Structure 1
Amino acid sequence: MENQSYLVSNKSTFLFEIKKWQQQMFFIFLILICLSGFISPPIALLLGLVVANLAGHPFLHLNHKATTILLQVSVVGLGFGMNVNSALSAGKEGFLFTIASIFSTLTLGFFIGKWFSIEKKTSHLISCGTAICGGSAIAAIAPVIKSDEKQTSVALGVIFILNSVALFLFPAVGHWLHLTQHEFGLWCAIAIHDTSSVVGAANKYGAEALQIATTVKLARALWIIPVALITSYLFKNKKSKIKIPYFIGLFILAMLCNTFVSQTALVAPYLVSIAKTGLTVTLFLIGAGLNWKILKTVGIKPLLQGVLLWGFIAIAALVSIIYLS
């Protein structure tokens, strides 16, 4: 009887390992498809969402670290396709939009959080993620306010859901309104949360939009530092360390090389191509990390706060760009 029980147990373990191996091989196969260049970043994101909720993510414990590294490397690679003079011009124009949108979004987020009776730290993380640069801002602000895992997860869930929508919605709206490459690049840099979705949407719209969007978005990301300092004062937590996005410095260095080092032209197109492929894989992994369990933890009030803030910043930025710039 014991031998029979042992055999049944071994068979179950063996079948489980086979199923796990098949799941891993299937997931790796999908990553290879993303690397092939046959699918666009938005489709890669959608594919990831489908896989997460039907087959599951066999490497979920590595997902956050992988997406962070891939995104940063991809952004640096895109720098080799950009010109410093054009970037400075775009950054200068986006500066006033950035200041106005960040502080108006944070202020509105505070009042919406109060109105909906959303937990204070969760509300602040959603506001910072919407105002600056999505998941990167939340990752930087979370240790400053000492948020717990649930508070951070809810905020990240809200931002990633809206990012996924933005990747499909923004290019469609841009074409519908006949926005120029310049206008669209500026708009999505201000109104889309995460750098990954900003670059994905702008890349779909055109090369000029991609350059403007990436430059303005990364300049915007630097506002993590002053916002984190203000946050530490408001939450009375002056001992917390602030995470500085160092990869932005490498992005600037890549632009300088592309502009002033003539030899860079020999490899720049290949580096940019690799960076765009890396972005496609990044968006696939982001989608694969959004299963129903994570989506259910978000809750209607935090999601509604995120939607209202996103609607505000998207409409206000669009009107300002069309009529005031």
Structure 2
Amino acid sequence: MLSAPRPRSAVFSTIAELAPGVLLCGAISLLAYALQWGEERLLGHGYVEALVFAILGGTVVRTLWTPGRAYAKGIVFSGKTLLEIAVMLLGASLSSAALAAAGAPLLAGVIGLVVLALALGYGVSRLLGLSPTMSVLVACGNAICGNSAIAAVASVIEADAEDIASSIAFTAILGVIVVLTLPVAAAVLQLNEVRYGALAGMTVYAVPQVLAATVPVGPVATQLGTLVKLVRVLALGPVVFGAALVRRLRANDGSAGPAPRASVWRFVPWFVVGFVALAVLRSLGGVPDAALGPIRVVTTVLTVLSMAALGLGVDLGQLRKVGARATAAVTLSILALAVMSYILVQHLPL
């Protein structure tokens, strides 16, 4: 009598589900590295990093072809989990220069910038005729961390699918545009590496986009930009908690439905905790200098993979589906954030 076939292990099943998407991101990443290598051979210098080529390559692929469901989990894994690991590893190489620059004035300035950007984003959106719910989503996405903030806040204020889709669609596309133009603008403005890192951390929407915007400039810009960005990410917890509290108070007044409970700690990402832990470990001498080289290589490779996944999430055709008022609100909000960030970094002791 034949025995029943043994079921595949959970690990093997997970690998099989992730493989198509991860391999697609890997193929785009290899092409990005090949383009960077060719650029260096032809021009003698890599003016465009593999990170940028990976974003552009993923965007082109996504615009010309929509990957099927078989690729979805691997793309999400590459764009989220691998990126989070890369961000965590950055803590191990956090330099003393970046730590010195991230003093109390900078951290206070970042917090103040988030509060001001929230108020300004909401006000601009309302002036353009967007609904209160849509205005909250645009303001949070612009001030904190793009799509992640939009999704988190939307779950608390019970935004409808159309508002969520509209606010996310153009935010994703505009985020890539900012990544590609910010280094050029910084060069024109003649910002040093420290000030540029602070500007990128204050302006760019998502953590992976901060890496894409700062790695070509230098390690200090990357470390400081990531640190500043993580401060903005941590603001998501209090903002979501506050949104839930306001909704609960309104519910008690009978003007809204029951508000879901929210915990601040639920919105403190694990990789932020890991980043801080590795930074402390590094400062205590727990990370040897010999390990920094391999860590940087792994971090760079994982980041390029995540950039390819980021590009695969950008469909330029979606621009047609975004309303003019929502587009104007997001655009004006990010421009105002960039101007405020530039003024702030110019007046901070960096």
Q: What TM-score comes out, normalization by structure 1 length?
A: 0.84
Gap runs ≥5 in structure 1: 1-21
Alignment-derived partner of residue 13 in structure 1:
none
Pick one of 186, 203, 206 that aligns with 1:191: 203
- Contact 2:59–2:315 (Cα < 8 Å) also in 1: yes
What amino acid is the match of 1:269?
Answer: G
Alignment-derived partner of residue 61 in structure 1:
72
Tell me: CA distance 1:180–1:240, structure 2 relative to 1, closer, same or farther (3 Å). Answer: same
Q: Does 1:302 align with 2:326?
A: yes
C-alpha RMSD of the superposition:
2.6
Q: Which deviates the most, 207-216 or 57-66?
A: 57-66
- Shift in Å at residue 192 of structure 1? 1.2
The superposition leaves residues 102-122 of structure 1 with CA deviations (integer Å, 9 ceiling, x where unpaired) of 111111222222222223322
Structure 1 segment 1-325 matched on structure 2, within 5 A: 29-34=27-32, 38=37, 40-58=50-68, 59=70, 61-62=72-73, 63-83=75-95, 86-87=98-99, 89-90=101-102, 92-236=104-248, 237-241=259-263, 242-292=266-316, 294-323=318-347, 325=349
- Cα distance in 2 between the residues matched to 1:23 and 1:207: 29
Q: Which deviates the most, 269-278 or 227-236?
A: 227-236
Gap runs ≥5 in structure 2: 1-19, 38-48, 249-258
Q: Which deviates the most, 314-323 or 291-300?
A: 291-300
Q: Which deviates the most, 78-87 or 94-103?
A: 78-87
Tell me: CA distance 1:23–1:105, structure 2 relative to 1, closer, same or farther (3 Å). Answer: closer
Q: Which deviates the most, 86-95 or 298-307?
A: 86-95
- Cα distance in 2 between the residues matched to 1:91 and 1:68: 29
The percent of aligned pairs where both chains have the same amino acid is 21
Tell me: CA distance 1:96–1:54, structure 2 relative to 1, closer, same or farther (3 Å). Answer: same
Tell me: CA distance 1:88–1:246, structure 2 relative to 1, closer, same or farther (3 Å). Answer: farther
Tell me: CA distance 1:91–1:40, structure 2 relative to 1, closer, same or farther (3 Å). Answer: farther
- Contact 2:121–2:333 (Cα < 8 Å) also in 1: yes
What amino acid is the match of 1:57?
Answer: P
- Cα distance in 1 between the residues matched to 2:233 and 2:24: 35
Q: Which deviates the most, 252-261 or 60-69?
A: 60-69
The superposition leaves residues 60-80 of structure 1 with CA deviations (integer Å, 9 ceiling, x where unpaired) of 532334411122111012222
- Contact 1:46–1:287 (Cα < 8 Å) also in 2: yes
Tell me: CA distance 1:196–1:263, structure 2 relative to 1, closer, same or farther (3 Å). Answer: closer
Tell me: CA distance 1:27–1:82, structure 2 relative to 1, closer, same or farther (3 Å). Answer: closer
- Contact 1:258–1:265 (Cα < 8 Å) also in 2: no
- Cα distance in 2 between the residues matched to 1:110 and 1:142: 15
- Shift in Å at residue 219 of structure 1? 1.8
What amino acid is the match of 1:257?
Answer: L
- Cα distance in 1 between the residues matched to 2:22 and 2:141: 32
What amino acid is the match of 2:133?
Answer: K
Tell me: CA distance 1:27–1:222, structure 2 relative to 1, closer, same or farther (3 Å). Answer: closer
What amino acid is the match of 1:29?
Answer: A
Q: What TM-score comes out, normalization by structure 2 length?
A: 0.79
- Contact 2:92–2:278 (Cα < 8 Å) also in 1: yes
The superposition leaves residues 72-110 of structure 1 with CA deviations (integer Å, 9 ceiling, x where unpaired) of 111012222113684264153322221221111111222
- Contact 2:32–2:57 (Cα < 8 Å) also in 1: no
